[in-house]
Amino acid sequence: MPSRRIEVTTWYLEQCDPGDLRPARPTSADIVRAEVVLPELSRFLYTAVGGDWYWVDRLPWTYEQWRNWLERPGVETWIAYVHGAPAGFAELDPQPEGQVEIACFGLLRPFHGRGIGGHLLSVAAARAWDLADRWPDRKPTTRVWLHTCSLDGPAALSNYQSRGFRLYDTKITSKAVDHRPPGPWPGAR
């Protein structure tokens, strides 16, 4: 089926001080850092969370590209587990001058609407702020930022703002998308 062009709004949000973080109340989800670099795990999380929201940028990556991305000092993947099952994840991407991007964030569909997203985002933002504690060669974090767009889940923007992220830029672009998102198993439809 051919793609179509749609208008996409992208919102850029930031926290400039650890005190900006407004934590959500904790849930029963266990949030754990994946301390072993596993491209298979990261690709699974990326497709399982992003398949419903047109996350397609990393789909063509090779195993080597995934490994190179994840092995950079300071890159961290934080995973929310509910009764032993992965419920969602946040990926921290360290950048120059003490900046940290929450590069990927989201929940698998069965875990939407349970408050897990607010809790996971609270932990991810807090871990972005103290990233230098775990990576001694890094400068202390001075800014945590992320972006979301109109193709992401409908609760994303409000969750970010509820956690204390402030909007600093908005862009509107035209993008070619397939008629349906790829789903968690791209190519299986």
CATH code where residue 172 lies: 3.40.630.30
Residues 165-172, mean pLDDT to the nearest whole number: 97
Number of domains in the chain: 1
Q: What distances in angstroms separate CA 25 from CA 41, 119, 120, 121, 158, one per listed residue?
A: 27, 6, 10, 11, 16
pTM of the model: 0.92
- Residue 36 class from Cβ within 10 Å (0-12 exposed, 13-18 middle, 19+ buried)? exposed
- Indicate whether 67 belongs to any domain: yes
Sheet holding 85-95, edge to edge: 30-33, 76-82, 85-95, 99-107, 143-149, 4-15, 166-177
Statement: residue 1 has pLDDT above 70: no
pLDDT of residue 142: 98
Residue 184 lies in a domain: no
pLDDT of residue 4: 80
Report if residue 173 sits inside a domain.
yes
